[in-house]
Structure 1
């Protein structure tokens, strides 16, 4: 008789019913039956893996587990999976949407999610660099008394999301700093950036954070207040605790970006700079300033054009890519800062831009507009004459400084601290959950933390190699082939791109792995003899699965449980305290 084919839709329905209704044998029940039957069954152990009579056993070896329960997973009912997923994972997935995005297309926004989730080390590194750069640039310009010095500090700090290009051709930079007609340019750009890029708190932000915080607190309370069953077969809140710790780094990242007010809309940012540059003025030979647009399309401060794959990440606006713009941005700040420093020093000596008579202002430190006007030659010489360090020089000494290295090291410490402090808490709790040792659960969290760190290292090294061999202050951003052979430059270019894409791919796979790990954990896929016996830690000959906990075991587990909680929560608390210290702003621009 011909066998009738089952329609695809019916097959899917049957599969869902198999998940909804447990069809596998309950391994704990089989173990209890073995204890009750007694006899000469080999494989019974105590909770330390020492052989005992099966009637007194609280655990069993890997071999006995395979014979009793089989080698497959014991899938949880759908009600258990859905309850765990919605309680422990869904709030964090919703909170991911509160991270700053703003890319040009959906693919880049998706990659932003994968980079943040797949490598919290990289996400934290970019955040710490942004905060440290902001504090650094504002502190530097706070010591300068020349007009607009406080304004430019705030502008440069907000322009960390684009690759800056500084140009002195035709006296553009000198005119922008010296001419009083350009005071409006600085104020308009600051207002535009301040209004359009204020990533402020909203009801959605607060609701998402509160949802996660409440779910996390309830998980902790339930874990340490509910009486623990004498067996490990029932759903345990320790599962939720490890999942919460593995995602806990997300809370301080979202809170800090909201406090920092990170703007990340590429289109609006480009429009703000373009609109401000329409009003930029430049000095002329006869001393009468004109709009820079009447001379050329170049501007003193602009966004560098896209050149190729080597600089592609610099043009991606989401703040997670701020690490890729570090060297170019720092070089631009150094150039602008040096120009303002020279102008401030000359003004302190009462040296006007043109002529020898200094017009005294109404106040002691006021610089009258007449002292800041002059011809193109006078304006350029006011800043750049006998000041070679201001020239746009691509030498390595102008790219990497001790201050930049210090910021990179500090940001690296903060990134590693948050990643390993939170995920480390999950590893500790999972490691000491019986059977104690390296298991599928603790091993998965360990793999996630390692992959996060390796992806961050690959991307940072790629950025460093790019900075060492590429001229960040050169508008064309070309490889310096005069110092390095062409073949060597091509190999270096290939290495930079390879490291970058390897790091991104690893981060993307790591993000997917974290979500899949949680699903495996909730659904019971990890509930196999191979995972339950911690075979990764003990090997197949000495591994054993604990099924019955004694009161002593329960009390002993509370210490690593509390330790993991203190580690993860303490890390988040210390990180928020540190970032709030770094967020301490200077006085607002008057």
Structure 2
């Protein structure tokens, strides 16, 4: 092990020595060019040719390649350490505050790669979660049946997992109707509410990063002409999307997979299910078998979690919040199914129709109790009918899809794209207006990062929708075709391919943007090609400003404008409003969790 480490260290030092020894300084190249009075290719600060080479403050791209070569400037450790610690290290530290909670460490690493590799996807998952929460609160707001508030809270908290609803054997209907299951709802919500994640440590981390960023920006603007090519101003603005992401997710009650599963399993231990009628009870007005423990009747659960092998896309089973995009349609279907069942029971109760219709409606004497317990008991068939479920056979009904899903997806997409491209465009502007002005390697890298991020989001959203269509088609047919080639298999296979390709692209995009920032600080981009902005100006019009004395007023104005533009985007995003939408509340406010 020691010999292997020594070899690696030797190779690194050798590579570093070779890179430094073969590199050059552009200042020395310009001095050599000026010494030759008959040389051509010199420019002023704006790229215009000069008649006397001694008046040159820059070189055309062709002359730069001739005089300086294609290599980079030498590595400067003091500049690299200063820029890296000021512009990139705080952001990498803030990444640790992103929400995790997946079933395995690999899934947590994938969630980090997806968040950093595609801020568009991370922002979309955050905003769609906020919009879903608001819709879930509104969906149950008009229902007055017992436990409707706890049902809304529980379903909103469970956006992290693929929900599995079982209507057969009266499992779901019994959870909604039977008074014995009031404790089930309270137990589930109480366990889920204990997952609130806002802490003083997390808030302090965000505050320190912002304070350090403000001081760093102020220092860079005051010392604008110092090491302008290796300055991390653009890199610092590029990572600004991380602040609203961390703050926004801190308001979400994130929980690990083990705790979520334990909360549901513990609650299901006290779940009751009603019994079917016996033939002798058909003419009996009051003879109903008492409810039994659901665990004694069936291995299924009225409300449970799908396993990984049971979902059509693996991202749906990963509990990190960034994967909420993969559960949009299934979560909406689950909420709509439960809401419709509550609505059906609520309509019957408003008509004063008890579950066991052979009995009369009993009024309660207590003001706080709106539904008498005797009105909520009945046979399995009666409970199923009370919730609007047909029969009690093993076939599950086709899950309903509420209206407005695509509208919420569209709104969340606008917010996500706005956050992504506000920071990306601002970062690119700071570099484009830094001499030599124009689109170059640094700004081009930022734009490419944003384009790949947006593509990953689109591809993964399409993948999740294809998986949803495959699930619906599989549900309608019952079993796939024996030939193995039908719409369900095709959609599922394409969804899997797009998901894996996008995940790989996100990992690569994460590594590339970190390396791009490191390359900028270490002057890897300080070459004739990059400094001359050949990408934007073209080889014929490109030039490299080398000598000091450039008027940085335009550059300073562009930097300040970029920072203000990013700040305006954050204020328009209304993080407080998003945080309020993320609060799982209904008609009555949730118990304050600030003292937990």
Please point out which of 203, 215, 219 is paired with 1:222. Answer: 219
Alignment correspondent of 1:437: 438
Alignment correspondent of 2:545: 546
SS at match of 1:249: helix
Please point out which of 323, 327, 330 is paired with 1:328. Answer: 330
Alignment correspondent of 2:363: 360
Seen in structure 2, the aligned counterparts of structure 1 residues 183 and 16 have a Cα distance that, compared at 3 Å, is same
Please give the alpha-carbon distance, in whole angstroms, between the structure 2 residues aligned to 1:568 and 1:417.
10
| Structure 2 unmatched ranges of 5 or more | 1-5, 278-287, 592-596
Report matched runs for 1:30-45 at 5 Å. Answer: 30-35=29-34, 37=35, 39-45=37-43
1:459 to partner: Cα distance: 0.4
Please give the alpha-carbon distance, in whole angstroms, between the structure 1 residues aligned to 2:485 and 2:61.
60
Q: Which moved more, 1:342-351 or 1:180-189?
A: 342-351
Please give the alpha-carbon distance, in whole angstroms, between the structure 1 residues aligned to 2:104 and 2:582.
30
Please give the alpha-carbon distance, in whole angstroms, between the structure 1 residues aligned to 2:173 and 2:552.
72
Q: Is the 8 A contact 1:20 1:78 kept in 2?
A: no
SS at match of 1:310: coil
Alignment correspondent of 2:285: none
Seen in structure 2, the aligned counterparts of structure 1 residues 329 and 443 have a Cα distance that, compared at 3 Å, is same
Seen in structure 2, the aligned counterparts of structure 1 residues 13 and 331 have a Cα distance that, compared at 3 Å, is closer
Alignment correspondent of 2:454: 453
1:26 to partner: Cα distance: 1.9
Please give the alpha-carbon distance, in whole angstroms, between the structure 1 residues aligned to 2:360 and 2:421.
63
Equivalent residue pairs, number? 567
Please give the alpha-carbon distance, in whole angstroms, between the structure 1 residues aligned to 2:367 and 2:296.
36
2:376 counterpart of 1:372: yes
RMSD between aligned alpha carbons? 2.7
Alignment correspondent of 1:531: 530
Q: Is the 8 A contact 1:335 1:392 kept in 2?
A: no
SS at match of 1:256: helix
2:125 counterpart of 1:121: no
Q: Is the 8 A contact 2:470 2:489 kept in 1?
A: no
Please point out which of 554, 557, 560 is paired with 1:556. Answer: 554
Report matched runs for 1:147-546 at 5 Å. Answer: 147-195=146-194, 197-203=195-201, 205-224=202-221, 226-229=222-225, 234-236=226-228, 239-263=231-255, 265-284=256-275, 285=277, 286-307=288-309, 310-354=312-356, 355-361=358-364, 362-363=366-367, 366-384=370-388, 392-394=396-398, 398-399=400-401, 401-471=402-472, 481=480, 486-546=485-545
Q: Which moved more, 1:447-456 or 1:562-571?
A: 562-571
Report matched runs for 1:59-78 at 5 Å. Answer: 59-78=58-77
Please give the alpha-carbon distance, in whole angstroms, between the structure 1 residues aligned to 2:48 and 2:231.
27
SS at match of 1:60: strand
Q: Is the 8 A contact 2:26 2:546 kept in 1?
A: no
Q: TM-score, normalised by structure 2?
A: 0.89
1:469 to partner: Cα distance: 2.4
Q: TM-score, normalised by structure 1?
A: 0.90
| Structure 1 unmatched ranges of 5 or more | 1-6
1:565 to partner: Cα distance: 1.1
Please give the alpha-carbon distance, in whole angstroms, between the structure 1 residues aligned to 2:391 and 2:44.
79
Please give the alpha-carbon distance, in whole angstroms, between the structure 1 residues aligned to 2:577 and 2:486.
45
Q: Is the 8 A contact 2:47 2:543 kept in 1?
A: yes
1:444 to partner: Cα distance: 0.3
Please give the alpha-carbon distance, in whole angstroms, between the structure 1 residues aligned to 2:224 and 2:240.
24
Q: Which moved more, 1:238-247 or 1:85-94?
A: 238-247
SS at match of 1:425: helix
1:527 to partner: Cα distance: 0.4
